[in-house]
Structure 1
């Protein structure tokens, strides 16, 4: 359900309850008495209704100001997550429901001058007020996630989850890796080309089982030309089908690639790294000048790279149960991850001794983790590149010597 429908559902539900419950109480003539006069009950419900509208306006004005602040300070791509957070809209729905219910239920107090107070309906209005107060506290705690430490940890957690899930989801079809267990025939001629039609959209995920099933059913191999996270524009090639005995329905092929207005974490380990780098380089801009935030971002970046370093990265070829390659798609290599994670921070942090030391610490730690693995050679080349950049930096000799020392805290603990 779209998040904007949540407050509407709460409001309609509260109006139905406010119109039905007093009628049921009146029809049953229940012998319940709250011990308050009709005037007092009317004042209480009127105060709840008017107070909830004022509270809603104040709370959500502050919430969206904080969202705007986070978009400027961190990254607009990350702040949009809170703008679409279901918790925010559930809180708005509860506030609307409390206002609507109290206002509608107040119409049944002293109905036709009877002096009667619907006991159950009035008690529910007060209970909804307490629920709204609890929701208000939870909403404030949710907005506390906009603090930089919580923001970086959330992005890091999303990255760790997507790395784990991607490795697990691709495992059943990874027999094609290296060509040892897969049949590798000569490339067949292209029999179908699928192009994007419509407004620009990002590739959010592949439906891998469906694509392999379609290719296997047609006896073909599907080459995916768009990587997860790519922007598809009018006429962009999405898929190519090679070989096969028949034509795969275009609707089935389009349905196997999900497009959306924004990039998502799903199937895209590059995206959390992209967000962390965005936050780091924005912190390093002259307008903000906050290298410590960049160091905190590097803490999460190093952890993600350590996890990627322990995984055998996919070569973009997946096979069916018989070992025949059915799906080919673009995948990043280890050097691509290194460049994404460190290049921009290295460039924008070139004048910060703290950032240089933290970068060296991350690279040395990765080299130690990889040991004799071939990926360690890429780390060594990157370290030499960093040393050359430090040598040509505007630092004096003493600062250059300090910048060449790795420090997991940036500044404070040389090792």
Structure 2
């Protein structure tokens, strides 16, 4: 049986599966090493040389110490989660649950405790598991080193520069996977998908509903095409990764409408719905976390424009990269099966709204407005170099809108002059881009 990719990812992102697996490994190691001790009766060298009472004392101290440190680790983790949720964004918690160092630390402390308890059971008056006790002592020393690493790591986890940088790096990594081609290299833009989908929806369709409400985490077109029967000639995925769906909202429409009910169960596996968003196919989730952090930093209760400008810098980096990328196809045709599938996607304007949202809340802070304006001009410039006039125009319009709102919010004459210069600069760049694109489209004269 093939495990769904989204299900495996959710397991690895939780705070129970990886630690539980580590505990099982330690338990198995204890059983195996005790068996080796009982058969070989190893002694001498660097192995434990004490009597059964000493062995039980060592194992008891290790077990008691490790379970205490495990409790401390849980406490520190909960405090970090509370700070992160209140200072940055509750949506960042998913990345902390999936933090490998935290998972390994929690799993190792509980696992070493379990190891010591299992070995302790085997220590008798006539038998000392010397190899097992020696390994327990080595694990206890390793646990001390791991505690130092964990405390250092936690001190980084609560720094805004680390948190925002980590979000941006993960988002850019997924962007490279989801949007690998430069704009214009592989022209896959559909002619008029909206009209095509509207025509399809005028006919009766077999609608596949979600079993539970939640966020769409993953859509797998390959799984969908394999699940569709030979009699299907059209299918449309009506949702996108990151969308919230309720139980009465269709996920997928299939034509013709006369499909067996078993088809719904097979097709539903192509669209994973869960309780929270995931970055795997949804880079908008990374943008959302950065926007939430920036907006919270601009709130009256926190008033930290430096954090907001840091978030805007990372948003700029993501959007500049995205501005020069080709978006994946919406229409998928399979001539060998006479099948056409429409899988909706997010457009560039929707990603651009992330900076617009920050601009709405930053209208009274000239410094943040300037950083936003610089970022949007970079996005517009990158789109223009890729010869995508629509994206360049959209970025410039957002910059002008943010500057205009800021001008209305301030009464300082100096701020007015700065904002007017920003607007003039953006408009001049729009005219220059439009002229350059016109010249390129007309080609050389003569």
Structure 1 stretch displaced more, 216-225 or 33-42: 33-42
Counterpart of 2:113? 99
| 1:334-386 residue CA offsets vs partner (Å, 9 max, x unmatched) | 322222x1222111111111111101111222222233623222233223323
Counterpart of 1:124? 135
**Quick one: structure 1 residues 221 and 133, their matched pair in 2 at CA, closer, same or farther if it must change by over 3 Å?**
same
| 1:51-75 residue CA offsets vs partner (Å, 9 max, x unmatched) | 1121111122112101110111111
Counterpart of 1:251? 265
Asked if the contact 2:212–2:247 (Cα under 8 Å) also holds between the matched residues in 1, the reply is: yes
- Counting only pairs closer than 5 Å after superposition, residues 271-310 of structure 1 correspond to structure 2 as 271-310=285-324
Asked if the contact 2:43–2:130 (Cα under 8 Å) also holds between the matched residues in 1, the reply is: no
Which stretches in structure 2 are left out of the alignment for 5+ residues? 1-7, 423-446
Q: Does 1:133 align with 2:144?
A: yes
**Quick one: structure 1 residues 399 and 186, their matched pair in 2 at CA, closer, same or farther if it must change by over 3 Å?**
closer
Q: 2:362 aligns with which of 349, 361, 367?
A: 349
Displacement, 1:244?
8.5
Q: 1:378 aligns with which of 394, 398, 417?
A: 394
SS in 2 for 1:237: coil
Asked if the contact 2:190–2:330 (Cα under 8 Å) also holds between the matched residues in 1, the reply is: no
Counterpart of 1:411? none
Q: Distance in 2 between matches of 1:245 and 1:177?
A: 31
Q: Does 1:160 align with 2:172?
A: yes
SS in 1 for 2:332: strand
Which stretches in structure 1 are left out of the alignment for 5+ residues? 407-415
SS in 2 for 1:392: helix
**Quick one: structure 1 residues 285 and 306, their matched pair in 2 at CA, closer, same or farther if it must change by over 3 Å?**
same
Counterpart of 1:410? none
- Counting only pairs closer than 5 Å after superposition, residues 225-240 of structure 1 correspond to structure 2 as 225-240=238-253
Counterpart of 1:210? 223
**Quick one: structure 1 residues 366 and 122, their matched pair in 2 at CA, closer, same or farther if it must change by over 3 Å?**
same
SS in 2 for 1:124: helix
Displacement, 1:9?
4.4
**Quick one: structure 1 residues 47 and 369, their matched pair in 2 at CA, closer, same or farther if it must change by over 3 Å?**
same
Counterpart of 2:330? 316
Q: Distance in 1 between matches of 2:222 and 2:243?
A: 21
Counterpart of 2:442? none
Q: Distance in 1 between matches of 2:198 and 2:382?
A: 38
Asked if the contact 2:205–2:257 (Cα under 8 Å) also holds between the matched residues in 1, the reply is: no
**Quick one: structure 1 residues 191 and 123, their matched pair in 2 at CA, closer, same or farther if it must change by over 3 Å?**
same
SS in 1 for 2:396: helix
Query: How many equivalent pairs are there?
Result: 396
Structure 1 stretch displaced more, 155-164 or 303-312: 155-164
Q: Distance in 1 between matches of 2:218 and 2:224?
A: 12
Asked if the contact 2:209–2:247 (Cα under 8 Å) also holds between the matched residues in 1, the reply is: yes
Asked if the contact 2:295–2:358 (Cα under 8 Å) also holds between the matched residues in 1, the reply is: yes
Counterpart of 2:444? none
Q: Does 1:361 align with 2:374?
A: yes
Asked if the contact 1:175–1:318 (Cα under 8 Å) also holds between the matched residues in 2, the reply is: no
TM-score (norm 2): 0.78
TM-score (norm 1): 0.83
| 1:105-150 residue CA offsets vs partner (Å, 9 max, x unmatched) | 33454x33x5x64321220111111232333244334432342112
Root-mean-square deviation (CA, aligned residues, Å) is 3.3
Counterpart of 1:61? 75
